[in-house]
Structure 1
Amino acid sequence: MGSHGSHLEREPELDLILQETGFSKANLNRLHHRFRYLDKNNKGFLSRTDLHNIKELEMNPLGDRIINSFFPDGGECVDFRGFVWVLAHFRPSQEEDPTVQDPQKPEPLNSRNNKLRFAFQLYDLDCDGKISMKEMLQVLRLMVGVEVTEEQLEVIAARTVQEADEDGDGSVSFVEFTKSLEKMNIEHQMSIRILK
C-alpha cells in the first residue's frame, strides 16, 4: 500500500468510518489520497474553495448544492470523515436481500432511500421538507441554463410539481418525490464510477 496506506491508518476513527460508509479500505485509500490532494495546505480539512477545485463539481449545474451538502450545519470546513460520509451516498448499491437487513444496523448511506433523500435535499432549497414550485424553478434554471425560455421553464416546473403533488398542496413532499421517481434507477444514476 505504500505511503498512502500509512496516512490512512493514522486517520482517527478509521474503523467507524469503514463501518458508517461501507467503503472498502481500498476505496477509502483512494478517497484519502483525493482528500489530501485537495487539501493543498495540509490543514486536515477542506473548505468550500477546496471543493470548488473538483472539476466534476465545477461542471455540474448542481455543483454548489452538492458542495453545500458537505457543510450541513453551515460550517466552513469538512474533515475526512465528513468528506467520505457525503460521498458514501454515491457508492454503488449492492443487490442485497431486504429480508436479510439487520434491524439493529442503520440503513446504509447508499441505499435507495438515502440516495433519494440526498437528491431531495438538493431541490429543497429552504430545507422545509417540501419542494415548492419556486424551488423547482430555481433548480431547473441551474440545470438547463439559457437553453430554455423562462416561460418554458415555468411550464415545466408547474407540470413537474403538479404531476408529483398527490395531496394538492402545491408542493412535493419527500414521499411524493420518492413515488414520482419509482421507476428511475437511482442506484445507478447516483453512483460514482471510480468507486465501483
Structure 2
Amino acid sequence: MGSTSSMLTQYDIEEVQDHCNHAFSQQEIVSLYHRFCQLDRNGGGFVSADEFMSVPEFAVNPLSQRLLRMLDGLNFKEFVAFLSAFSPRTSLQEKIEFIFRVYDTDCNGKVAFDDILSILRDLTGSFMTEQQRQKVLTHVLEEAGYTKNSHFTLPDFMKIIGNSELKMEVEVPID
C-alpha cells in the first residue's frame, strides 16, 4: 500500500477492513482507495491538509480546521480509519470517541468549557453573540448536572451523548 499508484491487493483490503473494525465493505474500501488516490495529487501516499481542502464539502464545513488537525498527512489506512466514524456500521461508542477527539483540542484527554465554546463559536459564526453562546452552553451544562468549571472526560461524553439519537453517517458510492 506504499504508493497510491499501485493497486490494492486482497490482503491490503482485508488489512484495512481489520484496521477500521469492518466499518466498510471490500467494495467500499476499493472506492475509498480511488478517492484517496484522487486526493493524493502528488502520489506520495499521504493526503495533506491542502489536498483535503480541495474537497468543496469539506472546505465549507465549519469544523474543517479542527478536522484538519486530525487529517493532515494521513496514509490510506489512516484515511479509512478516520472515515469509519461516519459509517453506519460503526458503534455509537466509536462515534462518541471520534467526537471527543474533535472537542479535545489540546489532546489532554479532557474537554473544558472553553473547548466546547470554541466549537460552538465555529458552528454558529456571527449568528450568535459570544454572550449568547456562553449563556446557552452554561444552561446546557447545568441541565446535564455540570458547571462551567467542569472538565469532561470520555466517560462523561458517553454519559451525555450516549442516550441521544446521533446521526453521523455518509454513504460511500461504489464505483
User: Does the TM-score normalized on the shorter chain lie above 0.5?
Assistant: yes
Distance 1:159 1:166 in 2: 9
What does residue 194 of structure 1 align with? 172
What does residue 30 of structure 1 align with? 31
What does residue 18 of structure 1 align with? 17
What does residue 80 of structure 1 align with? 76
Unmatched 5+ stretches in structure 1:
1-5, 72-76, 94-109
Change (3 A) 1:127 1:161: farther
Unmatched 5+ stretches in structure 2:
1-5
Query: Any idea what the Cα deviations from partners look like across 1:30-59, whole Å, max 9, x if unmatched?
Result: 101110111112222111111111222212
Identical-residue share of aligned pairs (%): 28
Q: Which has the higher contact order (CA 8 A, sep 6+)?
A: 2
- Contact kept? 1:136, 1:161, Cα under 8 Å: no
How many residues matched?
167
What does residue 119 of structure 2 align with? 139
Does residue 1:126 correspond to 2:122, yes or no? no
Secondary structure, aligned partner of 2:8 = helix
Aligned residue identity for 1:127: C
Change (3 A) 1:16 1:165: farther
Distance 2:144 2:155 in 1: 10
Structure 1 runs of 4+ aligned residues shifted over 4 Å read 165-169
Alpha-carbon deviation of 1:20? 2.1
* TM-score, normalised by the number of residues in structure 2: 0.84
CA RMSD of aligned residues (A): 2.4
Change (3 A) 1:168 1:151: closer
